[in-house]
Amino acid sequence: MAKTGIFYGPEKGSVDRVAHMVAKEFGEGNVDLISVKGKDPKLMENYDKIIIGVSTLGMSNWNSEVGENDWDTFSSGLDKVNLQGKDVAVVSLGDQVTYPEHFVDALGWMYDKLKPLGANMVGFVDAEGYEFEDSEGFRDGKFLGLPVDEDTEPERTEERVSSWVKMLKNDFGF
Ligand SMILES: Cc1cc2nc3c(=O)[nH]c(=O)nc-3n(C[C@H](O)[C@H](O)[C@H](O)COP(=O)(O)O)c2cc1C
């Protein structure tokens, strides 16, 4: 079976919880869960199939010089990583009520970082069921990964994760 890794951050919040849900859906022992905190992004090269778990924390926050978050630090070493031939899917936490014009922008930021490294980006989903105005993570009629809104629609998370993982198992050839 292809080696699959879930790279997620930050720890202890909604992303952490959802990353564990994704792992559970894949089944015990089928995936490695890796918190990106303090890790070398080269680690990604050990995996054939990669899932990224990230929260959207606003562009100004993402790009800020001060208060670097775990993904800022991890991402700064990404340009040395070769993802040629690897399937990569992204799940982003977000809040469609408070940030309707930037809902899960991180799906787009991640796509733009990972695609140039050779990644075959998979796991895109329809907008059906979401209420938002704009998103950098929405292109050509699809989200570039799975949006999860634990802030305003936590009751839908389990079902969203479960049907996404079903789709990924197919994309990943499980
Ligand atoms: C400072 C801040 C900025 C945020 N900006 C966005 C945003 O631009 N778009 C969005 O969809 N959600 C945004 N959110 C919502 C978070 O993505 C959401 O609360 C997420 O579940 C946090 O996950 P975490 O606890 O794992 O960090 C923001 C939250 C905070 C606190």
Compute the distance between CA of residue 137 and CA of residue 147 in angstroms, rounded to an integer.
9
pLDDT in tens, the chain (174 residues): 689 999 999 999 999 999 999 999 999 889 999 999 999 999 999 999 999 999 998 865 555 544 568 898 999 999 999 999 999 999 999 999 999 999 999 999 999 999 999 999 999 999 999 999 999 999 999 999 999 999 999 999 999 999 999 999 999 988
Taking the CA of residue 147 as reference, the ligand 1 atom at the shortest distance is 11
CB 51 within 8 A of CB 6: yes
Q: Is the CB of 93 under 6 A from ligand 1?
A: yes
Query: Which residues, at least 6 apart from 64, have a Cβ–Cβ distance to it below 8 Å?
Result: none
Predicted local distance difference test score (pLDDT) of residue 66: 45
pLDDT in tens, 115-131: 999 999 999 999 999 99
Query: Which residues, at least 6 apart from 53, have a Cβ–Cβ distance to it below 8 Å?
Result: 6, 7, 8, 9, 15, 16, 18, 19, 22, 90, 91, 92, 93
Concatenated DSSP letters for 98-123? Answer: T-TTSTTTHHHHHHHHHGGGT-EEE-
Walk me through the domains of the chain, giving residue ranges and CATH numbers.
4-171 (3.40.50.360)
Distance (angstroms) between ligand 1 centre and the Cα of 35 equals 18
Ramachandran angles phi, psi of 114, nearest 5°? -90, -35
